[in-house]
Structures are given as structure tokens and as C-alpha cells.
Amino acid sequence: MKMNSKVVCALMIAITILSQLTYAQARFVKNLEGHWKFQKGNISDAHQVDFNDRNWETVTVPHDWAIYGPFNKDVDKQTVAIFQNGEKVATEKTGRTGALPHIGTAWYRKTFSVPEFEKDKKAILLFEGVMSEPEVFLNGHKIGEWKYGYGYFYFDISDKILDGKNILAVKASNKAFASRWYPGAGIYRKVSLIVKNRESIDQWGTFIETPYISEKEAKVTIKTKVTGDQIKLVTTIFDAKGSKVNSNSTTEHFGNEFEQNIKIEHPNLWSPTSPYLYTAVSQVFVDNQLKDEQSTRFGVRSIKFDSKTGFSLNGKVTKFKGVCLHHDLGPLGAAINKAALKRQLTILKDMGCNAIRSSHNMPSLEQLELCDEMGFMFLAESFDEWAKPKVKNGYNRFFEAYAEKDVVNLVQATRNHPCIVMWSSGNEVPDQAGSEGVKRAKYLQDIFHREDPTRPVTVGMDQVKSVMESGFGSILDVPGLNYRVHLYEEAYEKFPQGFILGSETASTISSRGIYKFPVVQGKMTQHDDLQCSSYDLESCNWSNVPDEDFVLQDDKPWVIGEFVWTGFDYLGEPTPYDKKWPSRSSYFGISDLAGLPKDRYYLYRSRWNTTSETLHVLPHWNWNGREGKITPVFVYTNYNSAELFINGKSMGIQKKNTSTPQNRYRLMWMDVKYEPGTLKIVAYDDDGNQKAVKEIITAEKPYRLVLSPDRKTIKADGKDISYVEVSVLDKKGNPCPTATNQLKFKVKGDGIFRAACNGDATSLEMFHKPTMKLFSGKLVVLVQSTKRSGDISLTVTGNGLKPARTQIKTENLTLE
């Protein structure tokens, strides 16, 4: 069951009614998002209360100060041999971390008020992510620091907060040689102030498990850590409609932990196809007076990993059809935006994806909330480094002092999300080799088990031979292999678990709408234009094309699924062009940096989306100068056969077969000679009946623009975004797939131009400027709401093109 925003809002209102006006008195949560003062530079006294920040820039948090550029090849230039890529000799890498100016120190200052703050209250300051090494000051006093840019952390500021005005200052510092990809810069995730009574639920102190599930009933076990004496804890469970299901009241506790068992009759189970969510409302009473109240969403679901069936969800064997995602949101940088995250997941859902791996970082809480709601299983990852470095100033500097604290915070903050079915303690860590690495793997796995006994732990392993010999792979709950498809059989025989997870697969590289000839499979192939062919046959030295993974997934029951590298292109790691300039973002994505699907998207969709028809043809059919030359045609479809026609002449029927991995999953006409006109595909079912038809027509000169918003109505909250796809048609209405016109964007009304992106990994145009070139005939414009309801008008123009305009409504969230 999907919960739309109105249902969620209704549920929250129903929960609030429980405690009437006393809820506001019990707990106050304030999102510290607006009116931050920001300045880049190492300013020694910026934490002082009387510091003059009047001339600083005013920003909203979450905020990424580096995404505004400009791109510069000298930013974080690294001379390095990338060990996990098999490199032996150090070479200069210019775009490895995105070529955006993320290195340096910056300060944030925020004035906020807490009216009538009383000394019997408790105040918590919660940060969900600061890049990086933040130092936090309140009213001129340092209250703490953290090291990991992806970690969540909080401080008890009860003895530092003032009744009335307070000055919060945050220093964030990014060092050179500290990342392998674009990390972002600044307070890129949410900051919250939580004010509550001393007698209250501890931060992240609630842990919900569902240890017994049947069709008739589910046992919900809720462990709650509470501070205070003479406490009665009342927990009430509500269903997705806000109706009361059951409740429990207790005064029994051991130490500071209460444990309650509550029955749900005829439970609705959470799964990717039916992501049903319940809400537990926990209330703390002292002498019948409400002291604290907290709502926790959860799902009723069971997970099981075993040697006989692999992975089962709710008793049903399930394969992971997953993708890896970096944390950046393309033109928005690292700054979290829920609309952007939801768009990503919506695109992936249509592809048939059912799982996400956060790579290689702790996920945002917003991402987990959406995966709960939309139905994605989640592999929550923690680290890209342990004690041995990949980069000079990486997490290796903090591992010994911070690893346990970071894992504890990750698990405690997120373990109630039903989407999470696995933890990952690391990715391709150099510690895989040697006995010390085995000890570290067990050390981290033990912490995960201590904090959450219900989920297994994996590591993405690329040194497969080493982990077979050392025992590293054998101690893990779930052995995860990154690539190395030729070693799957041997690993299965040697590891005791009885199954293998493709924790990172494919790393196929392509550029949307770009095709190279001749059409051959290649490793680390480079072209003069610094693009990769979208025939989906190019990969890296260590990786492979998708079909090789498909064979393992389909033929080996002990392979429990895969997480493809990656769902979307991301900033940084422009393999295979990380030694070339300009190239500043990845080519790995199934969709490009703008979120526009590449051809490969439909190859995965043809296997993963089992409920919708897929019929996709490539390449485009605009090849002036290739007349008479061999121009192969590929079709990605869920049908097993199809017939190709060029200008009405049949090129024959192709059927999927097992002669090669490509022939098994693609229909390919390798000897087609290009002639302009109409390319037509007719797909047939297994009985030879015509089921679907697709045509591509050679376009004439670009004539007019077309705008297609992903949503015509957005929330008037100052955060929501409509993604408007811009494309070009000729006079006859045919798409122009090679158009590269320079466009301009103008937004009027109750919204702003937020950014634009064309998906070109070599483009040095800045995302926030209201002009950009089309890439392969398309780009995307991001239109963001203000806090006023009304209308937004976007107009797009380009020289020689008929302009286009679209209207977007903004509305305040109301209940019907």
C-alpha cells in the first residue's frame, strides 16, 4: 500500500489528537533550516556571540557551498594509482572528486530562540550530516565535534542553551585528498533542535522488532530506553489510515529499558510490492502527567538468509534487483532534497528496481523514509575505508577513535526502517588482505549484531582471492562480491554461507544518446570526444557488461541478487577519462546525471519490470554521413522475438537464444546499413502474435521546444521541485536526438529557477546559471517552489527554435 502525502498528514493529525495540547508541552522539535549566515574561509573568531556576520551570505540548510563551482581541473588534482582499479603506476587524475571547489573551511551561523526554556528541560542538537569534520559552538562555547562527514551525531546542550536568543556556529572543513568522488561541502543534511522534559525517551532509544509473524497475528516487540523515575510507558499502534490497532501500558523496566509486546491481528506485511507502514506512538507518563511522546513508523516483515533458499522476504524467496547510489543529487550537489530523492526512486521503480545500496556512505534519513513508503529494500553502508587508506586524508585517520561511535549512531538512528534488510560495514577496503583485516571485519560485525541482532552484515569485497585465503569472506553473514564474475563459482565452493550476493555489479559505462562504431565489446575504451558508447558494450578493466551478471542471477539459485553500479551518474570518478579533461562526472549510471534514462535503463527494465511492457530501440536514426555504412540495431524488450523493418523492408526476425550472454538478453541486427527514413520494430509473443510496435523516424532540422514536467503541482514549501524535461522536435513532430542548441530559461511567479542539467559528463556549464546546451537533444530544468501558493511559469528559448512555456501550480498541503 502506498501512503500519499494526504494519508501521512491525516495519520500525523490523528496521532497528535491523542495528547491534545499536552503534546506541544511534552516535546518540541524545530528544523533549523532558514536564515543561516554563511562565509567561506578559516575565520578564527566566527564562533563568538558578538561576531559581526551582517555581510555574510544568507542560506538555507541543507546547503552545499561547492556545487556552485566553477569547475576547475586543478581542484583536488590527485596523482595516484587507484589500487581497487588494478592500477600499478600513479597518474594524474583531474576530475576524480568532481572538479568543484569543495576543499577548504567554511562557517555557518544561526540565531534561534527557545522561549521560556526551563532548567528541568533537556535540549538536543541533532546533525544528520556535515561535510566535514564539523566543530560546533553554542553561545561562544564549543559543545563538540565530529569527524565523519556522512555520520549522524547529536549533542546534549541542556546546560548551554539560553532562555531566549541563542547563537549556533558550525565550522566545516574539507581537506584535499580526502575523497574518491565528489563529497559536497557544508551542512548538507538537516539540523534539528529537540526540546523535551528530563523524563523522556532517549535519542534513538526506540527499537521495534517483529519476531513472530503469521497470517493470523504478528508479535511486535518494542524496546524503549527512557530517562527518569516513576515512569509509566504507554505505546499505541496505529495502522496506515490512522486507526488504533492495539496498545500496551507498563511500568516494568530493566535498567532504563522498557520492553513491550503488542499483538497485531491479521497484519499487513511490508514488501516492495506492498509497502504497508504502521506507527507506534510511545508516551511517557509520570504521575499521570504526559512527559514525552514520540512517533515511530515501522513495518511488519520477516527476512531470512540461509544456504538452502538464499534470501527470503516474508517467507518468499526474493532476488535483489538493486542499484548502488552515491549521495549527490546531480545539479543540486550533496544538499538533501526530498523531491529529488523521490524522483530518483520513481524512475527506479518503473525500471523494476526493488533495492538500494547507499554507496559508500550512511544514507540520509529522508532516503530511508521514502524507501519505506515506496517499497525498496535497503543495504545501508557505513564506510569506504577502515584503518588502511585509499586516499591520504580519508576515514582511515578516524577509524580507531570513531568507527564504533559511527556504527552505533547509524544503527540506532535507522534500525526501525523496514526497508533496511542488511548492513554493510565496508566497501573494497584495503584491509581485506591480512589477518588484521579479518579482525576488523569481525569487530565491526559484532558491533552491528550488538546494536541490531535482526539483520545480517556484509562487506563489498573485490579482493576475492585474498578473502578466500584469509577467512575474511567466511566470517561475514553475507559474502558480497564486487564484480569478479569469473570467481563466483570458486567463492561459492569455498565460502561456508551457501550463497553469494553481487554487492556491486556491471560498472558498464555509457553516455546517453552517444553511439560509437564499430560496435564491439571493449574494456576502458576511450574516444576523442570523451564519451562512452550507448550500445552498452563498454566496461572497465575490473568489471563487465550487464548480461554477464544476468546469466549468474538467472542460472545460479545461490546468487541472491545484485546491486548495479550505479543507478544514476554522479559527480566525480569519470572513469575511463579520469586522466583527461574536461571530464568531471561518472559514466556508470543507468540514468545520466540529469536523471534521464540511458539505453541501458531499458535493458534492465526488460528483465526487472515484470508487469509492464518494454520495447526500446537503439541507436537513434539520424546519421548524416553514414549512409550505406553498417549501423547495428539493438532492441531491449521483454518479448523473445522481434522483426526489424527499414523503410518498410524487413531485416529479418531475431530471437533471443543462449549462444552468448548478449544474444540471451538483447535482440541484435549487426549487419544493418544506415539509410535515412523509418526504422520500425514489431515485437512478437512466443506464439508469433504481434504484440507491440515501435518506430523511429529520421528527424529534419530542429524546429520547436517541448517541455514535460514530471509534476504539474508541487508543494508551496520552498523546497519542492518540478523536474521539467526539455526536448526538441522538428516541424513534423519527430524528436531531434543530436540537437545541441544553447537554451535559456526564465521562471516567473511563485517559484524560482533552481538548476539545469544535460547529463553531459564533459560539460563545464554551471548548473545554477539559467542557460545550458542540449545534450543528445535533451536537458532538464529544475523549478523550485517558494512558500507562496500560486502559479509558476517556465519559459525556455533557443536561437532558431520556437520557444515553449509550461505552467506549474504550487499548493499548501491541505486535507480533503
Q: Same domain for 720 and 803?
A: yes
Residue span of the structural domain in which 134 resides: 32-197
Q: Residue 217 belongs to a domain with what CATH number?
A: 2.60.40.10
Is residue 575 one of the residues assigned to a domain?
Answer: no
Number of domains in the chain: 5
Which burial class, exposed, middle or buried, applies to 683 when counting CB atoms under 10 A from its CB (0-12, 13-18, 19+)?
A: buried
Q: Same domain for 470 and 444?
A: yes
Give me the pLDDT at residue 357, please. 98
Q: Same domain for 11 and 135?
A: no
* Rounded Cα gap, residues 275 and 421, in angstroms: 14
Q: Same domain for 639 and 684?
A: yes
Say if CB 357 and CB 320 are below 8 A apart: no
Residue where a domain terminates, one of 197, 214, 235: 197
Give me the pLDDT at residue 307, please. 95
Is residue 552 one of the residues assigned to a domain?
Answer: yes
Q: Same domain for 362 and 214?
A: no
Residue with cell 528496481: 353
Q: Same domain for 251 and 389?
A: no
Q: Same domain for 326 and 453?
A: yes
Q: Residue 189 belongs to a domain with what CATH number?
A: 2.60.120.260
Q: Same domain for 468 and 355?
A: yes
Give me the pLDDT at residue 3, please. 46
Is residue 402 one of the residues assigned to a domain?
Answer: yes
DSSP summary character for residue 593: T
Is residue 240 one of the residues assigned to a domain?
Answer: yes
User: Which run of H or E residues covers position 643?
Assistant: strand 641-646
Give me the pLDDT at residue 813, please. 66
47 residue type, one letter? H
Q: Same domain for 425 and 486?
A: yes
Give me the pLDDT at residue 25, please. 64
Is residue 476 one of the residues assigned to a domain?
Answer: yes
Which burial class, exposed, middle or buried, applies to 195 when counting CB atoms under 10 A from its CB (0-12, 13-18, 19+)?
A: buried
Q: Same domain for 42 and 182?
A: yes
- The reply to whether omega before 211 is within 30° of 0 (cis) is no
Q: Same domain for 115 and 219?
A: no
Residue where a domain terminates, one of 665, 697, 729: 697
Is residue 517 one of the residues assigned to a domain?
Answer: no
SS3 labels along 494-536: HCCCCCEEEEEEECCCCCCCCCCCCCCCEECCCCCCCCCCCCC
* Rounded Cα gap, residues 441 and 447, in angstroms: 10
Cell of 725: 524535461
Is residue 224 one of the residues assigned to a domain?
Answer: yes
Cell of 399: 577509524
Is residue 218 one of the residues assigned to a domain?
Answer: yes
Q: Residue 451 belongs to a domain with what CATH number?
A: 3.20.20.80
Q: Same domain for 59 and 139?
A: yes
* Rounded Cα gap, residues 384 and 371, in angstroms: 23
* Residues in the chain, pLDDT under 50: 1-3, 5-24, 815-816
Residue where a domain terminates, one of 177, 197, 217: 197
Instruction: State pTM to two decimals.
Output: 0.95
Residues annotated as catalytic are 428, 504
Give me the pLDDT at residue 4, please. 52
